[in-house]
Structure 1
Amino acid sequence: MNIAFFLLPKEEVACLNINSTIRQALEKMEYHRYTAIPVLDDKGRYAETITEGDLLWTIKNKEGLTFETSHRFSIATIVKDRIIHSVHINAEMEDLLSLIATQNFVPVVDDQSVFIGIVRRSDIIEYCSKQMFSKRRENVT
């Protein structure tokens, strides 16, 4: 099976630019109800993912950073708890599954590392569930 089958295209994914502020990250994540958000560079390449936890710990530990001052701090100052790895669009499903087991979504990139979308863990689980239960129904009848 091809990874593209599960791809939620870039146009449907809210992202941040690498030059965004912490305030912009907080507001975009709140608006879209995201717990994590991909960050892209100026050429549209996947750079990293920022999580709610990353933001929380940065606000707690960075001197002078409050919600009121968050517009003065770049997301580049955020210390990431863990790296969210991307996968190439032509990667094997096994590569995707090994990442999706520990990430809520996997960013998908092309040959130039340009971000083209994400694969959500919930979509993989839903697909697998349908496959499992349809086979069970076939065996019962």
Structure 2
Amino acid sequence: MKTAVEIMTEDVITVTPETGVKEVAKILSENKISGVPVVDEQELVGIVSDSDLIRQGKKLELPNYIYLLDSILYLESFKKFEEEFKKMVGAKVKDVMEREVHTVTSDATVEDIATMLADNEIKRAPVVDQEGNLIGIVSRGDIIDYLSE
């Protein structure tokens, strides 16, 4: 069975945490891709996908609350609302990116990568070295290409 290093895309399009959200949208559109790794120097710090950008267009739903004795009591998690709000109004990648990234190493098998993508309902897995530096990316398309050989 092949490994990540054998099927990955090595020339990865990346952005930095300071890249503007509109610029990322343009990069995704022009390159016909659905997400890009976020790197600081060469270190992987997050990932931003089309679904992260789409959040900015969604309707803001305020949390339910009750007013009791001059206090507001939220019936839902206000922290979750705050996080969603920050992502909706974010102007830079650091405001909208996903910080918890599912990664693989170069020796991960295609079977392991496919399982991880399916189990986590994600479309791509950055390939990192021992120091956490980005060395490639494996997408669902890469796996489909391998399976069609």
TM-score greater than 0.5 by the shorter chain: yes
Change (3 A) 1:52 1:93: closer
Equivalent position SS for 2:136: strand
Equivalent of 2:48 in 47, 50, 54: 50
Q: How many residues align?
A: 120
Given residue 15 of structure 2, which amino acid in structure 1 is its aligned partner?
L
Instruction: Give the drift of 1:113.
Output: 0.5
RMSD (CA atoms) = 2.6
Equivalent of 1:98 in 85, 93, 115: 115
> Unaligned 5+ residue runs, structure 1?
131-141
> Unaligned 5+ residue runs, structure 2?
61-84
TM-score with structure 2 length normalisation? 0.67
Partners in 2 of 1:8 and 1:79 — Cα distance?
21
Question: 5 Å matches for 1:1-141?
Answer: 1-9=2-10, 11=11, 13-41=12-40, 43-60=41-58, 61=60, 62=85, 65=89, 73-78=91-96, 80=98, 83-101=100-118, 102-130=121-149
User: Deviation digits for residues 1-26 of structure 1, max 9, x if unmatched?
Assistant: 332111210x2x21111111112211
TM-score with structure 1 length normalisation? 0.70
Give the number of the structure whose residues are more often helix, by fraction: 1
Instruction: Give the drift of 1:115.
Output: 0.4
Q: Among all aligned residue pairs of Structure 1 and Structure 2, give the percentage whose two residues are the same amino acid.
A: 23
Give the greater-gyration-radius structure (CA).
Answer: 2
Higher relative contact order (CA 8 A, sep 6+): 2
Partners in 2 of 1:89 and 1:29 — Cα distance?
25
Instruction: Give the drift of 1:85.
Output: 0.8
Runs of 4+ residues deviating >6 angstroms: none
